[in-house]
Each structure stands twice: as C-alpha cells, then as structure tokens.
Amino acid sequence: MERRAPQDLSLSVRNTVEDWFIRVAASGFLPASWWLSLPDPATITARRGRLAIEIVSHCWQYGHLLAYQLSSIVNFPPTQATVRMTVFYAPQDLRTRAMLDFFGAIRVPNVTWNWQAIEPGRLFRRSIGRNLVARSTKADWVWFTDCDIIFHRLCLDTLVEQLQGRTDRLVYPREERVTAMLAETDELLAAERDRPRVVDIDTGEFSLLAVPQATGAYQIVHGDIARACGYCEQVSVFQRPVARWAKTFEDRTFRWLMRTLGTPLEVPGVHRIRHVQKGRYGDNKAEALIRGNIRRVKAAIKARWQKPTGSLLQSRPILAAAIAPARSRG
C-alpha cells in the first residue's frame, strides 16, 4: 500500500476540516458577510436589448454527454444574443478533446467557442474554473452549468427576453425536462461514444420537473456580480486543486454568499440527461455501483416531490404549442 507523504496528508486533513467548516457555515450558522460584501445594488446595470451571455461548463470523461449540449447550440443558435460557450477540460481526456475539436470547427451564428484546457486537479474543483470566468467575463450574464444540460428550442432566446432590465444577482429556470436515470448501456448514452457528431434528442423521453433553487447546473449570474464577487473566491478550500472530482458543495456555498436561492424565470427548452454512473469514480466499479444505486433512489424521491408548477405552459400557450411533449410526471 502506497504511503502518503506527510505534507500531502496534512493538506488533505486541512482541506477536510475547512470543507466541513464552510459547509456548516453555509447552512446558515454563520453570516456570509464575514466572507463577502456584496456590491451596492445601485451599481448593477439593468441591461436591455441584445445581450451577451457566457455559458460555462466542465467536462471530465463525459464527452458523450457534452455532444448533446454543444449540439443543442448548433441546432438552436441564439438570435437575440451573442453566446460565448466556455468548456473546461483536461487534455488527458481524449474523448472530450476529440468532441471539442469536432465542434470547434463548426461555425454557428452568434456563438463563439472557447475551450479551456487545464490540469485535472484544477478541473476536478470546478469552482476554480468558474471563478476564473467570473472575474474575467465581458458578458452581461454568466450561466454556470453542467455538461449534461441541453439548451433546446426557444431556450436561449426566451432567456434573453426574461433577462431584459433585470438586476437580480442570481436567477435560474423554473422548470426542467429530465430523462429517467439512465445506465451507461442506455442507447441515449452509448450512441455518442463512437465518433463526434451533431445530434438531437427525442423530447418525448423527457419529463417535466420543477427546479426548486439555483442548483449547480442552473446558476445564471449577473455579469456585474460575477466580476465583483468571483465564484467562491473567498473560500480558500474551494480554490485548491484536488486529486479526484470533488462533490460540488461550493454550489450551495455560492448561493449562501449571494444571500439568495435565486429568482426563478420562465425558460422553456431546458433539458437534462440523468445518468447513473459518474465520471468522477473512474475505474472504481464498486464505488460506482454504490453511488449509482444512491442516485437512483434520490432521483425517485425527487420525481415524487418536485412537481411541475404548470406556470410556464399555462401563462404562455404559444410556447406550450412549440415545445413538445405534453408534461409527464411518470
């Protein structure tokens, strides 16, 4: 058994202690103002007209899922905004590299591809990449997302409509459409492993769920806030590289720092591919099996309790006719 160097063990213990401390603090036991002072609301610009949006995604061993995300931008490009699609990846992930090379050669109206290669340890702590973008972005709004999210028909243009004149710190789509919890052998996941190509989904395989708050895949941040505050920059443990993909407790910490769960917006066309096996577990099949079963149980609970609100389709019948299928709760 390989022995860890004393300094590595010390850093691991320090990270664990700091991680648990900030998780307790972010649960409401300590004020976020101890870490971050928010900008004066009067300094936040209410932008209108054609907006610039930066979408930020991280990908490790999920090139087959990233294919659907990037394809959705090719298939349904924005007409009311310019989009900068930023993807962080590690050069060691050859399948993701091949996927990015393929899509990078496709010219899409109003879209700029931005591939950011970083070392795995920095990729595995996604708040590092998110913070880099937050501090440097030129966009009016930044959508921090996951690579299993799909921006389908009407999604981006309707988002622009909803963002007109807003000064919220953090917003998110009120509803999403999700698959069942898919195994790695499912046709939807297996089909895109062979070669990079532009693909689309059968929306009839997705069911409607409510999104309760600005979760990690749905954190849409005002550009002025992103530039002023960064992304969990004030929490040092969330800016250190890690040896394996870190569970994203920084998502909750970010909401705590923002002092809000986010403002829900009516945005159609948001789809998510749910999958049992996580890329973060690599070749550890036993852990992948255990975690996969846990994810199935959690998904079943969410499907039971996260009921669709109905507000989007009831209030916008034109959209109801444009986005198929009819809602399903399973």
pLDDT digits (tens, 9 = 90+) for 44-80: 999 999 999 999 999 999 999 999 999 999 999 999 9
Spatial distance between the Cα atoms of 269 and 271, rounded to a whole number of angstroms: 6
Asked whether residue 6 is domain-assigned, the answer is no
pLDDT score, position 3 = 54
pLDDT score, position 292 = 42
Q: Residue 271 region, left (φ>0) first, then alpha (ψ -120 to 50), else beta? A: beta
Asked whether residue 217 is domain-assigned, the answer is yes
Asked whether residue 15 is domain-assigned, the answer is no
Asked whether residue 14 is domain-assigned, the answer is no
CB 89 within 8 A of CB 59: yes
Asked whether residue 107 is domain-assigned, the answer is yes
* Residue 50, domain CATH: 3.90.550.10
pLDDT score, position 9 = 58
CA angle 96/102/103 to nearest 5° reads 90
CB 179 within 8 A of CB 208: no
Asked whether residue 57 is domain-assigned, the answer is yes
User: What's the number of domains the chain is made of?
Assistant: 1
pLDDT score, position 8 = 60
Spatial distance between the Cα atoms of 60 and 98, rounded to a whole number of angstroms: 13
- pLDDT < 70 regions, the chain: 1-11, 191-192, 277-330
State pTM to two decimals.
0.84
pLDDT score, position 287 = 44
Spatial distance between the Cα atoms of 58 and 89, rounded to a whole number of angstroms: 6
* DSSP code for 40: P
Domain housing 82: 37-322
- Count of beta carbons in the 10 Å neighbourhood of residue 317: 9
Asked whether residue 205 is domain-assigned, the answer is yes
DSSP 178-218: E---B-TTSHHHHTTSSS-------GGG-EEEE--S--GGG
Asked whether residue 16 is domain-assigned, the answer is no
> How far is C-alpha 174 from the geometric centre of its chain's CA atoms?
15
pLDDT tens readout for residues 168-207: 999 999 999 999 999 888 888 876 677 899 999 999 999 9
